[in-house]
Chains A and B, each alone.
Chain A
Amino acid sequence: MNALIISALLGVVMMFSSFLLKDRSTVRSMAIAGLLLLLVVNVLEMNGVEFFNINTRDMIVFDRFALLFNTIAFLSTLLYLLLSAKEMAKVGVYFADYLALIFFILCGVILVSSFKSLLILFLGIEIISIPLYILTGSDKRNLKSNEAALKYFLLGTFSTGLMLMGIALIYGAQGSFYSVDISKIAGETPSALLIAGMLLLFFSMSFKVSAAPFHFWTPDVYDGAPTVFTSFMATIVKAAVFVAFIRLFDEAFGLLHLQWQLLVAVITALTLFIGNITAVFQQSVKRMLAYSSIAQAGFMMLSLYAMNADAKEGLMLYVAAYSFATIGIFAVLIKMSDYTFEGFNGFAKHQPLLAATTTIFLLSLAGIPLTAGFLSKFYMLKAALGTGKHLWLVIVAVLMAAVSVYYYFRVIQAMYFKEGEGQPMEVSKPFKWTLVVLAALIILLGIFPNILLSWLYF
């Protein structure tokens, strides 16, 4: 509860600072200090210190899973702001408002990671989505950004409509919005209303996490949105919606697991296949990363498929590994003017440190040992094997991980083995050091994943 209230207050503070403070660097420092505060109060709450005690009638419950995820989300946002906050100012003149929107999105992230009632799930998803529509269209003169915003908005509200219909049908069948009550009666023979509602919820959530066949909006929106905000959208937001997805299907429909497992397996395989194969053919690194985010979503779907202890641990690790690596790559990409693979030619000669850290991020995304990406993929596959069914899914996942190596290594190859004059970039010292910290975190998690996972069981 600490983080939820403070994050909402910080959002309001940032909103006011947009016209009270003219100096951008003050606003930036305020936002970073605010995120540090969020991180501290969240860690305090993990250790049992609660400042606010509000009776939510058990609609929001902060368990270890939620608190750990929130910590990861705040840490990623903090690193994201340290790396890219300056670039945000280049998108438009409303710098402080963008930061305010990001704090509001974090409120939504906190809600969806800790909901126990479908009402909170719906509110959380909307609190995440509505500011995101604005951020997507924040580059107002750019037609691509406009298109992306309209597309995201129309498809996003459409899927919200489906989700609400699902919630209404479930309410009709069970008479309650609480996940506990839904799962209780669902144990017996589920009614047609409940099944229809569950399917609608499943489709709308797959839409939000961009699982194939509902992924078609992702590349266009990620490509059209200003790159700074794509970075945020593809990492923290996507991870949060995934946590909500898992929580919903674990708590509300856990007893029907065997009935929907095959459906999830098919969608997972499709997502892995489409995401990875299409990413191979991309010419722009930004678009490749959009498809790679679909592919990574496929891996995260494995935890939904397996739904056991390994899956939950694995998801935490995956979320951390994926967010850190993607934020790092985007931070470097934002500094470039040319987003094609050729733009990376000769990058290692001009910016050796940046190239080295980018290589670590890419290796982690591809799942090479000694990085966090490897262990998180390992956990996912272990969880999927643990179910003892649908072995083909694990085989597809491994094959597709091999395919993903191709397009990640294309960037590394361009950086190190191709000649090029490089692009002019202004890179500050703190930026470089933050990137190094990020890379170090990824390697640290790849060797000692228990630093993170032990927080799950205290």
Chain B
Amino acid sequence: MPINYYIFLSIALFAIGIVGVLTRRNAIIIFMCIELMLNAVNLLLVAFSKMHHLKAVAIDAASTAGTDGQLFVFFIMVVAAAEVTVGLAIIVMLYRNIHSVDVNFLNRLKH
């Protein structure tokens, strides 16, 4: 499959994530949309990694070019997991205090 399909799919997923973050008011849903953005990036990185690998293998069959893209994906997964931990903790803390996870509440800070 040409690389363009992967690029378009990832950008579509990423855009869905961005639209979700900007329009939804529920903290958990916003959170899921951010995860969607990160996973769109993962997909794109793996696709690019394969692309660079195939290109390098055509010249030198023993080449390991492109592996760093897939390594990056593992780092993103680890960091995303750490973020989920902290993020859910913050949302739970908020829920304990106001019994809601609606982000409209955030506008109170502006006085």
List residues of chain A with CB within 8 A of the CB of B110.
220
Instruction: Establish whether residues A164 and B83, one from each chain, have CB atoms under 8 Å apart when the complex forms.
Output: no
Q: Which residue of B lies closest to A220 (CB)?
A: B109
List residues of chain B with CB within 8 A of the CB of A137.
90, 93
List residues of chain A with CB within 8 A of the CB of B27.
150, 154
In the assembled complex, B16 has its CB within 8 A of some CB on chain A: no
With A158-B34, A176-B68 as given contacts, are A150 and B44 in contact (CB-CB < 8 Å)? no
With A158-B21, A164-B76, A165-B37 as given contacts, are A175 and B66 in contact (CB-CB < 8 Å)? yes
B68, B82, B105 interface centre (most CB from chain A within 10 Å): B68
A167 and B10 alpha carbons, distance in the complex (Å)? 14
Instruction: Establish whether residues B90 and A149, one from each chain, have CB atoms under 8 Å apart when the complex forms.
Output: yes
Determine how close the nearest CB of chain A comes to the CB of B75; give it in whole angstroms: 6
List residues of chain A with CB within 8 A of the CB of B90.
133, 137, 146, 149-150, 153
Please, what's the 1-or-0 string for A389-411, where 1 marks a CB less than 8 Å from any CB in chain B?
A: 00000000000000000000000
With A133-B86, A149-B90, A177-B68 as given contacts, are A161 and B34 in contact (CB-CB < 8 Å)? yes
With A123-B79, A146-B97 as given contacts, are A172 and B34 in contact (CB-CB < 8 Å)? no
Instruction: Establish whether residues A161 and B94, one from each chain, have CB atoms under 8 Å apart when the complex forms.
Output: no
List residues of chain B with CB within 8 A of the CB of A140.
93
Instruction: Establish whether residues B72 and A171, one from each chain, have CB atoms under 8 Å apart when the complex forms.
Output: yes
List residues of chain B with CB within 8 A of the CB of A147.
94, 105-106, 108-109
A158 and B21 alpha carbons, distance in the complex (Å)? 8
Q: Which residue of B lies closest to A172 (CB)?
A: B48
A:5-62 near B, CB below 8 Å: none
17 extra interface residue pairs, beta carbon distance < 8 Å, beyond A146-B90, A220-B110 = A119-B68, A119-B71, A122-B72, A130-B82, A134-B86, A150-B94, A150-B103, A153-B86, A154-B21, A161-B41, A168-B10, A169-B44, A171-B69, A177-B68, A220-B106, A223-B109, A224-B109
Instruction: Establish whether residues B48 and A168, one from each chain, have CB atoms under 8 Å apart when the complex forms.
Output: yes
Please, what's the 1-or-0 string for A155-194, where 1 marks a CB less than 8 Å from any CB in chain B?
A: 0011011001101110110011100000000000000000
With A130-B83, A150-B27, A165-B14 as given contacts, are A172 and B51 in contact (CB-CB < 8 Å)? yes
List residues of chain A with CB within 8 A of the CB of B83.
126, 130, 157, 160
